[in-house]
Structure 1
């Protein structure tokens, strides 16, 4: 491609002048991990230009690319400014915009050499981005190219699944061991197991409080809801496991952003061997270390009565209004009175409102904006719940990554709440004459 761009290139000063324009949309086409804060090309400051949207170049290959663009509020009347690592990629995406009816397109080619080094220019990042890792981070760990802070540190890579070792044996990250989510949660309640059981499970998998754990899963779609307790995705099981390990006291737990799909997209080596677990004898601390991360029913009731706390229902609309229970092993339909609707997506097996199309965690600004519109704000103590804990754990992880100070999972969720005939519940649309309250 010629060095001369077919699109207008703007300077740093021109971009600064556009920051205050309501018509300007700044689009970061780098990988979403770079947007979150990972300096993937050794840029001086990790993160993104403040106010920018993430639209990775690899999404340009998706058939529904333009729907993704529009869902982010990027419209033809806007003045589009693209930036990234590669000028060729910027021009490629600019051409896609042009073919889709966008005519005001500019390219900014100085993010790495001018914007990132200049601390006076505004940038933003996901506060706890280091706990949501790119595939390249995991690859460096297993290849021995560890940053100095990880030298000598024991690392356990965990492939999470729910009663499906075939998902692991059919392809996993080299060196990863498998962990059934049932090791950490009980089928009777779907809640986290007792401290004694958690300790034994973690020791069996070679995990102590000082172990660096990288948790990931593989996206799976169930044939029926008997097979999965809370989601169709193994990657959400990875977040569920991560939550329980953090509750127990594992100090450094990371989640692979996008799960196994991200590993495959990066074209890294895939293994099929059955990696043996190496048990250890001493966890190092008394479990649980972070009990505040989990809320049980008595505290959930206190939170409902408090003006400084909220329960957030991370279920689908049909579940929330009581049209369906979500799973065939949950009899009652409805919601906890007073819970805020946190909308997981289309049904009990999807979290599309918290995910990008490639299964990576959704742009955190978008999640925060959606939550703010329904009154979910960081100034309160928030406890996220769903049917049995998986979706609630993923929503909790979003808030925790954003650095929100008091966020928990109401572990019992609708399953535990609805099984107690003494607990009230309601159906119908809230604040509507059709809503019915049962007690």
Structure 2
């Protein structure tokens, strides 16, 4: 057994919760059985999160990973999260308790961020995200496995009341109250063209955005899977200061309650996770996003 020097893993001193953003080098050492800094305290689970990506997972994935599809945590017609009962059943079936360490990655890391937010909402205490996701793992030349994931033992119970952090999820009514109250900020994690109402970004959502929201940026116009305003060219997270400064220009900061949203939740979940990494105290995701808002009549 060898120890991995923390400097080699490039943990982020600019993040309050630096242990929760892991590098490919750290994860490669962990999956190989080496001793690592900030190792999980007990049992850990590794999930690749995707949307319709089970076949790709079986072709190649990070050794030790299981696959979880976002269709199991979201439901039509608005692609909001499934019921609390369904989410709890899914986590227990995958062996996840509140005291589990859960490490997530995706070929599109926004899918992994979507699950990361819901795990934190549920009450999983140790949620970690692979910085840069599967593309960065591949770019580093790390080994891959093939075939289906082995079956895992189910957890008998979650261990704490579920969900443990309902405050991490905001409803349409709560968003209206936030806007009316003026004490918090609603952050639109969408492209400039989406925020300006010039394009929808989705084939099934009308163009527009929520009146009173602040622009929190996302990525390139026309690409709802881009978070280039937050990521370096290799997909890893930019320095925290490079994210916080543009947010501050639009009145988004840690001193006020902040609710993040996008079209249906993926990009908002990534912004939420980054704010959580930075230690922001009052943050949430508006699960319905612009899609639900655009479908909901205003109160009489």
Q: TM-score, normalised by structure 1?
A: 0.63
Give a deviation string over 1:335-376, Cα, whole Å, max 9, x none.
Answer: 111000112122323111111110111221110111111211
Deviations 1:62-117 (A, max 9, x none): xxxxxxxxxxxxxxxxxxxxxxxxxxxxxxxxxxxxxxxxxxxxxxxxxxxxxxxx
**Taking CA–CA contacts closer than 8 Å with sequence separation of 6 or more, which of the two structures ends up with the larger relative contact order?**
2
The 3 A distance-change label for structure 1 pair 367 and 387 is: same
Cα distance in 2 for residues equivalent to 1:148 and 1:127 = 16
2:47 aligned residue (154, 158, 164):
158
CA distance in 1, matches of 2:65, 2:144: 10
- 1:76 corresponds in structure 2 to none
* Shift in Å, 1:41: 4.2
How many residues get paired?
293
Q: Any conservation in 1 of the 2:6–2:37 contact (CA below 8 Å)?
A: no
Partners of 1:213 and 1:252 within 8 A in 2: yes
Cα RMSD of the aligned pairs, angstroms, is: 2.0
Secondary structure, in 3 states, of the residue corresponding to 2:80?
coil
Question: Rg bigger for which structure?
Answer: 1
Structure 2 residue 185 is the aligned partner of structure 1 residue 310: yes
Distance 1:292 1:42, change over 3 A: closer
**Structure 2: distance between partners of 1:383 and 1:393:** 10
Written as runs of structure 1 = structure 2, the 5 A alignment for 1:118-267 is: 125-147=14-36, 150=39, 153-218=42-107, 234-267=108-141
Q: Look up the match of 1:391.
A: 267
Hey, what does 2:238 align to over in structure 1? 362
Structure 2: gaps of 5 or more residues: none
Q: How does 1:250-329 map to 2 (within 5 A)?
A: 250-278=124-152, 279-329=154-204
Deviations 1:24-81 (A, max 9, x none): xxxxxxxxxxxxxx932499xx75xxxxxxxxxxxxxxxxxxxxxxxxxxxxxxxxxx
**2: distance between equivalents of 1:315 and 1:366?**
17
In 1, Cα distance between equivalents of 2:91 and 2:8: 35
Can you list the C-alpha shifts for 1:253-294, whole angstroms capped at 9, x where unaligned?
A: 100000012211222111112112312222222211011111
Q: Secondary structure at the match of 1:289?
A: coil
Query: 2:222 matched to 1:333?
Result: no
Corresponding residue for 1:40? 7
Contact 1:293–1:408 at 8 Å: present in 2 too?
yes
Q: Distance in 1 between matches of 2:35 and 2:68?
A: 24
Q: CA deviation at 1:189?
A: 2.2
Distance 1:303 1:42 in 2: 40
Q: What is the TM-score normalised by the length of structure 2?
A: 0.92
Matched residues in 1 for 2:209 and 2:242: separation? 25
